[in-house]
Structure 1
Amino acid sequence: MSNLIRREASRTVAVQEPVGQYLTFLVGTESFAVSILDIKEIIEIASVTRVPLTPDYIYGVINLRGSVVPVIDLSARLSRKRSEVNKRSCIVLVAVEVGDSVQLVGMLVDEVREILEIPPANIQPAPDFGTDIRTDFIQAMARVDDVFIILLAISRVLSLDELSLLSDLAQSQEHLIANAD
């Protein structure tokens, strides 16, 4: 399905499906990627405020240019141990739709690698079994130089139910900050 053939007025033209661009990053020692269309910004780890009584995968909140943004520990979200922040750790900011609005969410990753162009021929469906993360978190598997990269389904990793919790958390933090002044 990577090449489409279109016949136009007695000539045949091969049309390539568009190559997707993906931001690759490490969580632990595993390579993951998300479409660059989902990425809003990549930032260094700044001052993160821990929030009591939240699930383990919620790393905390950050103040991003006056807005409170929740940060997810992607390792913990993928049912692994919590990330140990080091000099290569980053927060990848993505915008996720929650109902009628868009919520900016940070994902704590161990290291941002590169942006890869992956042709559709190198992308395979998500496996039904054999992974140590929830299969509904996997959009597809990409093969790049004989290495497999897990393409994450951001809308599932950051599900609507959990995002509403995050949205409530961000709003309550903004309310606390506003009342502290």
Structure 2
Amino acid sequence: MAILPIYITGDPVLATPTQPVTTFDKELEKLVNDMYDTTVAAPGVGLAGPQVGVNKSLFVWIYADQDEAPERGAAINPELWIEPVDPTRDEPQDEGCLSFPGVYYPLARSPHAILRAQDVTGKHYEINATGWFARILQHEYDHLTGHLYIDRLAPRELAAAKAYRREHKWGKKHNTWLPGRDEA
């Protein structure tokens, strides 16, 4: 078991689109298991490669409150399809991020997502997700495209997030926190 440092907003790895995973081996399996351990220690419900300094197209989730998929899973080289957000239907809900720790902001997300990905052995699978699980998949997928959830906030919330970032002096390279040791 290894707990990995989590990169905080401002590090270039979080703003860089990821590269595909091409090798499915014991090293990948160890990384995924370490990401699971880090997610539990944080605690969180998901974690993407860039958040642990790995520019690879993968994320993990640990979320029991859904019927669409196993409680714990890895999405490698994922593709994600969502319905456009409808402001008359899709109410903003508070969302947080381990790479922007300690605060939550309201954000509307699509209530439905289709995930196509590979597992750690390279086997392809598909999940139709709804509700909060669909939100988790969208959040983690955003990390793979170089985006944090704060990039999608409405202007008022974005201004508050930027002030929070300045207050914490985030925005530099190699700024991380370690679950279980540092306060998020």
TM-score, length basis structure 2:
0.27
| Structure with a larger share of its residues in helix | 2
| Structure with a larger share of its residues in strand | 1
Answer 1 or 2: higher relative contact order, Cα 8 Å, separation at least 6: 2
Q: Which has the larger radius of gyration?
A: 1
TM-score, length basis structure 1:
0.28
